[in-house]
Amino acid sequence: MAKVSMSVNGKPVTGEVEGRTLLVQFLREGLGLTGTHVGCDTSQCGACVVHVDGRAVKACAIFAAEAEGAEVTTIEGMADADGSLSTIQQAFQDHHGLQCGFCTPGMVMSAAALLAENPKPSEAEVRDYLEGNLCRCTGYHNIVKAIMAASGQDVAIAAE
């Protein structure tokens, strides 16, 4: 076991991890942040996406020890300071960008990373960026619409 320290949602945390402990295990089992989901064991679904030093990362694809000293943000850290939904979260709600919701934390985290680097993405760019996020329910159209809306663009240009 080794000690690991990082910032999670703006708060310093420490824990004891094995070398093989994945970041997603540390977040869920070590810190109780179960909003980060595990939807596969092949690093394909994207339900586990978090931000590590501002970049979207699949938390099942890195070890907790690799996040030593990093600034990690999970879905629990995405609400606005007053606890209300962030613009992206509200857009998912407004545009019905979820059904069962299992993929939604990863979708929101990926969307936030996309809009941070590309504030006005085209529909094609949104779809391309979400390549690593699988949704079994929605058919993606309303997710794309939600992200377009969160970027302040006309959702009518998103495909029906």
Quote the longest CA-to-CA distance of the chain.
53
Q: Does 38 bind ligand FES (CB under 6 A)?
A: yes
Of 2-10, 11-19, 62-70, 135-143, the window that binds ligand FES (rule: CB under 6 A) is 135-143
Q: Does 85 bind ligand FES (CB under 6 A)?
A: no
Q: Does 108 bind ligand FES (CB under 6 A)?
A: no
Q: Does 62 bind ligand FES (CB under 6 A)?
A: no
Query: Residue 93's CB: how many other CB atoms inside 10 A?
Result: 12
**What are 17's strand-pairing partners?**
2
Mode of pairing for the β-strands spanning 71-73 and 49-52: antiparallel
Of 13-21, 33-41, 77-85, 152-160, the window that binds ligand FES (rule: CB under 6 A) is 33-41
What are the tokens at 75? 């879905």
Nearest CB to ligand FES, comparing residues 9 and 138: 138
What are the tokens at 78? 């995405």
Q: Does 135 bind ligand FES (CB under 6 A)?
A: yes
Query: Residue 38's CB: how many other CB atoms inside 10 A?
Result: 16
